[in-house]
Amino acid sequence: MGCASIAKRLMIPAIQGLPEYFELAAIGSRTSGKAEEFSKAFGVEGIVGYENLLKRQDIEAIYMPLPTGLHEEWITRCLEAGKHLLVEKSFAMDLGSAMRLIEMAKERELTLMENFMFRHHSQHNFTWEMLREKKLGEIRVFRSQFGFPPLDKDNFRYDKAAGGGALLDAGAYTVKASQWFLGQGLEVISATLYLDPVTGVDIFGNVSLISRDNIVAQLSFGFDNFYQCNYEFWGSRGRLLAERAFTPKPAERPKILLEQQGERIVQELEPDNHFMNILKELHRSVAERDGSRHLEDILDQSRILTAIQDTAIKIKL
């Protein structure tokens, strides 16, 4: 549902690369031009109008790469039509919206997932192993950065009504990484968002969170930055840095730096397709009727993002 760049470049090829799990039945677009373009590119029916996609009785699940500002309307309509969903981040504009949609999914016993595919890349197994084995000692701080140079000004990320802004886009990855590694229940210590004077959206920002175990996460993100895409653990006996934490390409061999006293190791890891992996998890969740963990993750992520939005110092550039 939607002809976004990520769908064309990565998600639709991943769907079609898993014929034992999925059959791509149709692609829905707002415009006939995009519907025709995607239809020819992927050899399936192009449907004009999202509502017409929902009328198809042979469609069980929908991948939704629409802007966040459109999510509440179209997730609601998908759930009412009995469809399982994989939704691009950020899931909702605020916590209230997320809660309403999660309740609908529970009532209808439908799988609802947010597409943070990076969690399903095998490179992070190395990080978890280092943490389990206490190779870093006691963790003193977690850091994460995700930012990139300015985008075209007509990009939806600069449209406030569409759910634009660096926090809900790049920043959401750093929040999700914190939630994943440090556990649910993170609280906001401080937050600063820098606003574009023309569009009003936040174009970069910094956030500090604290976990239930009193570990601090320091996060930075933006649309006006030198490219960074990492997370780092600094401990009492070592440091670990994942250099390409969120966006490794399917054929790329990601590298993780491990430093201990007098020793520096760059661990090159196997390529992996986290787009295919999250799709397999979608299939498993639907087949086993086991989506409660995904709903809990969505709810906690939305809670943190809303708390950041509500408490942040906002500075107009």
Q: Which residues are catalytic?
A: 89
CA 34 to chain centre: 24
Nearest Cα residue to 63 out of 32, 34, 84: 84
Beta bridge partners of 64: 87
Beta strands of 65-121 (E only): which ranges?
84-87, 112-114
Distance between CA atoms of 9 and 249, rounded to whole angstroms? 11
Contacts 24+ apart (CB under 8 A), 265-273: 267/126, 269/122, 269/123, 269/126, 270/122, 272/121, 272/122, 272/123, 272/248, 273/14, 273/17
Cβ(31)–Cβ(38) under 8 Å?
no
Distance between CA atoms of 317 and 299, rounded to whole angstroms? 32
Q: How many CB atoms lie within 10 A of CB 269?
A: 18
For residue 225, give both structure tokens.
């930055």
**How many helices, marked H, and strands, marked E, lie in the chain?**
10, 14
Cβ(123)–Cβ(242) under 8 Å?
yes
**Count of residues in the chain:** 317
Identify the residue whose tokens are 């590119």.
41
Distance between CA atoms of 283 and 302, rounded to whole angstroms? 24
